[in-house]
Amino acid sequence: MLSILIPTYNYKVEALVNELHAQATDCQIDFEIIIGDDYSNQTIYNNTDLSKTGQIKLHRSDSSIGRTEMRKLLCKKAKYNWMLFIDSDMLPTEKEYIGKYINALEKNTEIKAFFGGYSYSHQYLKKDRLRFRYGIKREFKSALDREIKPYRNIYSGNMLIRRETFELTNPSLENRYGLDLAFSWELESKNIPFKHLDNYTNHMGIEDNQCFLLKSKEASRTIRYLYDENLISSKQSKLVWAYKLIEKLHLTKVLELKGRLFNPLMSWMLINYKPPLIALDFYKLYHFCKK
């Protein structure tokens, strides 16, 4: 009935696997768990007994292929039509996590994909992590709030999806940070019915400020690439919406100039202090415009 697929790279998944295995067992369903190790250079699963009636399998790639390609590979290896993709740095917030997804797909037979949403552990509250503040303010939303602008709130790190839907919508793009937007565009352009749920996973992989800032820059450049290639619209990205507005006002050159002047100061402040998140927005918009 359910294939649980976990792509990972240098992140230990034993706690996640054990929790998902226990929950799926309690639901009394047919299931499998496949861990996709993207050529890690450290141990990601310590349990040497992978049997557990053959329900847990570990696949290790021969080279690093990235999360997008690893998901494709896991899809090919999955034997059930419903696939639960969960990132390795996630952990369900409730013991009914699997059960909620099962109930949702049984009650919504016309729906092809479900998105449970992200939440954030308060263990990072006192660590002044920019990633944590961004997640709490921008990503931790109820299903009702996400449904207001459904295509801007697609988080594939906690996603239940039918096999044929995934094969139809998973973007065939080179490995980049920030490709959920391209996936969102595929859902929209192909008119795939999906649903947001309050079925959260805690995001445990909270990077330090410098690492998150570099990922934000990379994501901004990815979004610009997707926009230039007509692979996303303003429905997928607030950055695209903001860019189209300043372009309409003929302010792109002004923003690029000011961004070039203040980018070093912005970077330093975002790494070392706690400026309002609008500073991060400007930083990302500058790198989007910079092309």
Tokens representing 258 are 């000011």
Residue 62: per-residue pLDDT: 86
Residue 151: per-residue pLDDT: 94
Contact 39, 62 (CB under 8 A): yes
Residue 65: per-residue pLDDT: 85
Tens of each residue's pLDDT in the chain, 291 residues: 999 999 999 999 999 999 999 999 999 999 999 999 998 988 888 765 555 667 999 998 888 888 888 999 999 999 999 999 999 999 999 999 999 999 999 999 999 999 999 999 887 776 779 999 999 999 999 999 999 999 999 999 999 999 999 999 987 776 676 789 999 999 999 999 999 999 999 999 899 999 999 999 999 999 999 999 999 999 899 999 999 999 999 988 888 888 888 899 999 999 999 999 999 999 999 999 986
Residue 283: per-residue pLDDT: 95
**Domains of the chain: residue spans and CATH:** 2-206 (3.90.550.10), 210-290 (no CATH)
Residue 266: per-residue pLDDT: 92
CA 204, 219, 127, 45: dihedral to nearest 10 degrees?
Answer: 30
CA 121 vs. chain centroid, Å, equals: 16
Cα–Cα dist 233/223, whole Å: 10
Residue 257: per-residue pLDDT: 87
Task: List, in sequence order, every residue forming a beta bridge with 3; answer none if it has no partner.
Answer: 32, 83
